[in-house]
């Protein structure tokens, strides 16, 4: 096989689509071809991004079994870095996820935490309404809100957009056109100034429609936006006096376009 032919095997190698002797030939070539190593790293990192899309729910008992096994398996000690791009060193291919990848992963983990919080809302929201309402009624209401949120996330046409907030927080909106509802999730929201709250808005082609206020205590929020999505093509967050405003009184802290259906 010519050198030019070997160059084009980077893609096949990155998805483990080379067999036996061909794989060995290509690995020998990799050792002397720095551009090939770079490309293999990038394409292996790309392929790895396809993996989580095939996620499956693990069967019950698997967690206990794996945790039981690792308790008896001796770990490899740290050792010198293996050559780049070689089998047995899945370290190397991922090197290219670099700067852009890290914040994105963090966002996803934070998001997962948000979702866990959303599911656990029941008790918290119940506490919030204890004084105003009958406990049973408020529990039902809280449960309904938590159900709404998880139901929205599970809607087949739910679309998600995530972004960074000024100051380092992250915001996510979830929109389902079929349910005509949207939710707003945020992490690491800075505490608003005294007497102020965060307010959400639907963006109806430039006209801002109030969609509820968010109390960001603890820096986290997971809230259904008030009212239908209707014709809105985006949403915004502003800082408003306590109780909220009928129209934004400040420049938006963040605006996000709704993801396309």
Q: 210 to 249, contacts with other proteins by CB under 8 A?
A: 212-215, 217-226, 244
Cα-based torsion angle of the residue sequence 122, 124, 129, 131 in order, rounded to the nearest 10 degrees: 130
Q: Which of 21, 32, 60, 71 binds other proteins (CB under 8 A)?
A: 71
Report the DSSP pairing between strands 159-164 and 196-204: unpaired
From residue 232, give the alpha-carbon distance in Å to each of 57, 185, 210, 259. 35, 18, 12, 11
Q: Which tokens belong to 222?
A: 């997971």
8 A C-beta contact, residue 161 and residue 256: yes
Instruction: Please say which residue, 79 or 131, places its beta carbon nearer to other proteins.
Output: 79
Helix or strand holding residue 143 (H, E): helix 135-154
- Site stretch for other proteins (CB under 8 A), options 15-23, 25-33, 230-238, 245-253: 15-23
Q: Which of 77, 166, 167, 206 binds other proteins (CB under 8 A)?
A: 77
Q: Which of 32, 100, 194, 261 binds other proteins (CB under 8 A)?
A: 100
Closest separation between CB of residue 71 and other proteins, Å?
7
Q: Which residue has the tokens 């998805």?
A: 15
Q: Which residue has the tokens 């808005």?
A: 201
Question: Would you count residue 30 as binding other proteins (CB under 8 A)?
Answer: no
Question: Would you count residue 51 as binding other proteins (CB under 8 A)?
Answer: yes
Q: Which of 3, 105, 242, 247 binds other proteins (CB under 8 A)?
A: 105
- Site stretch for other proteins (CB under 8 A), options 26-34, 43-51, 234-242, 245-253: 43-51
Helix or strand holding residue 6 (H, E): helix 3-7
- Site stretch for other proteins (CB under 8 A), options 24-32, 53-61, 201-209, 232-240: 53-61
Which 173-202 positions form the footprint of other proteins (CB under 8 A)?
174, 187-188
Instruction: Please say which residue, 203 or 216, places its beta carbon nearer to other proteins.
Output: 216
DSSP symbols for 24-38? HHHHHHHHH-HHHHH
Question: Would you count residue 117 as binding other proteins (CB under 8 A)?
Answer: yes
Q: Which tokens belong to 92?
A: 């190397």
From residue 109, give the alpha-carbon distance in Å to each of 66, 105, 215, 233, 254. 22, 6, 22, 27, 21
Which 138-177 positions form the footprint of other proteins (CB under 8 A)?
145, 153-154, 158-160, 162, 174
Q: Which of 3, 24, 28, 112 binds other proteins (CB under 8 A)?
A: 112
């Amino acid at each position: 096989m010519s050198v030019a032919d070997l160059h084009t095997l980077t893609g096949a190698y990155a998805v483990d689509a080379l067999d036996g002797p061909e794989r060995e030939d290509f690995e020998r070539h990799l050792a002397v071809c720095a551009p090939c190593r770079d490309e293999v790293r990038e394409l292996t990192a790309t392929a790895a991004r396809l993996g989580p899309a095939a996620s499956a729910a693990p069967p019950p008992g698997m967690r206990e079994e794996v945790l039981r096994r690792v308790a008896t398996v001796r770990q490899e000690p740290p050792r010198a870095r293996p050559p780049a791009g070689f089998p047995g060193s899945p370290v190397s291919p991922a090197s290219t996820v670099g700067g852009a990848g890290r914040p994105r992963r963090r966002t996803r983990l934070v998001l997962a935490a948000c979702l866990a919080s959303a599911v656990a809302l029941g008790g918290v929201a119940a506490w919030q309404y204890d004084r105003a309402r009958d406990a049973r009624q408020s529990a039902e209401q809280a449960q309904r809100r938590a159900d709404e949120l998880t139901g929205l996330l599970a809607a087949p046409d739910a679309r998600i957009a995530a972004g960074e907030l000024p100051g380092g927080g992250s915001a996510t909106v979830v929109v389902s056109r079929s349910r005509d509802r949207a939710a707003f999730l945020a992490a690491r929201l800075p505490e608003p100034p005294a007497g102020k709250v965060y307010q959400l808005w639907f963006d109806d082609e430039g006209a801002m429609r109030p969609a509820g206020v968010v109390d960001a205590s603890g820096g986290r929020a997971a809230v259904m936006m008030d009212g239908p999505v209707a014709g809105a093509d985006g949403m915004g967050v502003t800082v408003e006096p306590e109780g909220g405003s009928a129209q934004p009184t400040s420049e938006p802290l963040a605006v996000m376009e709704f993801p396309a259906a």
